[in-house]
Structure 1
Amino acid sequence: MRENLTDLVTFLSVVKEGSFTKAAAKAGTSQSAVSQTVSNLEQRLKLKLLNRTTRSLTLTEAGEKLVALINPAIEDISTGLEQLINLRDTPAGTIRISADEYAIQQVLWPKLAPVLKNYPDIKLELITDYGLVDIAKERFDAGVRRGGLIAKDMIAIPISAEHQMAVIASTELLKQYSAPAQPADLLQLPCINLQLPTHGDNFPWVFKIADHEHKIRVKGQLVVNGINQAVQAALDGYGFAYVPRTLVTTQLQQQKLVTVLDHYAITYPGYYLYYTSRLQSSAAFSIIVNALRYRR
């Protein structure tokens, strides 16, 4: 099949150019190589396709029928390949990225919002997912996860700095309850749990104690499945919440929230954009990658 396709393209070029010499010049090969290719095609088909004389080159009836059959298909293939090349060179098309809520809000959107303004033909799908989704199977162009959570066969580039976690509470709540002195004290205090939609479990609160990580499963009246909901519930005084510190920078500055247990706060690795191949899939994807790349 591969040989037939190559020979058919050569045959059509001879017909279009009207001579073996011109077809050879266009292909950057010799006249004898083109002539041999067409002869090989005729031998496989067991049909004569061209009438050759020293002065002219005409199609036989079989040759005319073959041109009518294959020329539209070959043109469609050529057009399709040109469109793919344009996709590679022109910033356009849809880019789908899987990430958790915090990464979309704090890392992706601030960097990609200007891209959408500058490249109106780029369409962006940011899909919230806390699981380690199979981006190839789910037809994502890329995923975003913290360093250390990415499969080794993926290409990964850093897109953010490290982020520190914090236990937050409203000033009103701390008028009702004493601030915890150590992480274990949280077990006796009202806490707002975050339930990961793709896991079904409450997110554990992780602390650094004597250079070791310790997980605590807190309890409370309220469970939410969005990190922004947890922040709002904390602002409303429904309990302590465990969130990335940068998410509540403004509320901390305004003294609407305070942090506790800072000495035990853990710092997670930064986020990485990961994808399946080093091959640049499109100009649009290249622009997205460049915009997200973390520069210290």
Structure 2
Amino acid sequence: MIRPDHDDLRALLAVVRERSFTRAAAQLGTSQSALSRTIAGLEAQIGVRLLNRTTRAVAPTPEGERLAQGVAPHFAAIDAAVDALGESLARPSGLVRLTVDEGSAETVVWPGLRRILHAWPEISVEVLVDNGLVDIVAAGLDAGVRSGDILARDMVAVPIGPDLRMVVVATPAFCAGRDLPRHPRDLAAHPCINFRLPTRGGIYAWEFSRGREALRMRVEGPLTVNTLALAAQAMRDDLGFAFLPESGVTADIAAGRLIQVLDDWCEPYPGYHLYYPSRAHVSPALRVVIDGLRWRPAHSVSTEGGRTP
């Protein structure tokens, strides 16, 4: 049997419900004659009379009543789903899944999300901390947050924080009696805390630049870690120099609890960006998150975060 067109079935439901071609046609936005032809075509396609017609009334046959009762709940479910979607568009709701790196999670992502979640109780957010550069499409995520210098060109990227800077620091106890580095190459003579890259498993080469000169230094030391938090703790326990986000050590440097070296070799680089695959069909909930995290320098307090190597 050839399957009837869904619009034809909706036409049948309207006539059965209204018991009138005139009222059903008005409800469907068509003419009475066009509706009559639609029902006749449906009956011919199925091979059974669906409506009994007189000059004064119309009523379903037993077959017509059975067909109407069978399909009505499905169309009702479709209409309910479309209505629910319309309501969600009017008031953003639902789950937004984000991948963020360790450096951005607390410095720029959480301050913004805290405001968003209080203002939009219908929105929920799942935050997955991962220092690798995640393929958000393959992972089924809505968006990601990484520093702007490592994002793929085919991603839409929205800045959510100021420029960033990594700095070389150590404790006064560690620095005591040492000739402090004046050039990145001098780090070869000092113990340093290494960082293992999360994506390929290699050891991160510390990146320096001054003007047009750029260097990548391979350092040596007693410890290799894969989180910035552990690198910072090892440095604070006097094990060596560490290459860390400036925001996490600024107060300690100012108070003399840490010593910074090679300051003129640590230049800023593009800050954190929220990235997602397309400007088209962005969900209302994701749009709220994008707008809520967007960096607005003239109206924002600096929340400078760290670069994850």
Structure 1 and Structure 2 fold alike (TM over 0.5): yes
Matched with 1:273 is 274
Tell me by how many angstroms 1:99 deviates. 1.5
Tell me by how many angstroms 1:252 deviates. 2.2
Whether the aligned pair in 2 keeps the contact of 1:106 and 1:247 (CA below 8 Å) is no
Matched with 1:64 is 65
TM-score normalised by L of structure 2? 0.87
Distance 1:246 1:141 in 2: 28
Distance 1:225 1:2 in 2: 59
Tell me by how many angstroms 1:165 deviates. 1.6
Give CA-to-partner distance per residue, 1:71-102, whole Å, 9 cap, x none. 11111222222222233333432211011111
Classify 1:134/1:46 alpha carbon distance in 2 versus 1 (closer, same or farther; 3 Å). Answer: farther
Tell me by how many angstroms 1:209 deviates. 4.3
Whether the aligned pair in 2 keeps the contact of 1:206 and 1:266 (CA below 8 Å) is no
Is 1:96 aligned with 2:101?
A: no
Following superposition of structure 1 onto structure 2, how do residues 231-246 of structure 1 map, counting pairs within 5 Å?
231-246=232-247
Whether the aligned pair in 2 keeps the contact of 1:156 and 1:273 (CA below 8 Å) is yes
Unaligned segments of structure 1, at least 5 residues:
none
Whether the aligned pair in 2 keeps the contact of 1:88 and 1:280 (CA below 8 Å) is no
Q: Name the SS of the counterpart of 1:163 in structure 2.
A: coil
Matched with 2:303 is none
User: Structure 1 stretch 33-42 or stretch 44-53: which is displaced more?
Assistant: 33-42
Distance 2:244 2:152 in 1: 25
Matched with 1:201 is 202
- Opposite residue 279 of structure 2, the aligned amino acid is R
TM-score normalised by L of structure 1? 0.90
Whether the aligned pair in 2 keeps the contact of 1:89 and 1:282 (CA below 8 Å) is no
Whether the aligned pair in 2 keeps the contact of 1:107 and 1:160 (CA below 8 Å) is yes
- Opposite residue 205 of structure 2, the aligned amino acid is P
Classify 1:18/1:273 alpha carbon distance in 2 versus 1 (closer, same or farther; 3 Å). Answer: farther
Of all paired residues, the percent bearing the same amino acid is 40
Tell me by how many angstroms 1:210 deviates. 4.8
Matched with 1:26 is 27
Distance 2:41 2:11 in 1: 11
Give CA-to-partner distance per residue, 1:175-222, whole Å, 9 cap, x none. 142210100111221111122333322222101145143211211111
Following superposition of structure 1 onto structure 2, how do residues 1-296 of structure 1 map, counting pairs within 5 Å?
4-296=5-297
Classify 1:254/1:2 alpha carbon distance in 2 versus 1 (closer, same or farther; 3 Å). Answer: farther
Whether the aligned pair in 1 keeps the contact of 2:21 and 2:32 (CA below 8 Å) is yes
- Aligned alpha-carbon RMSD (Å): 2.2
Distance 2:97 2:105 in 1: 12
Aligned residues: 296
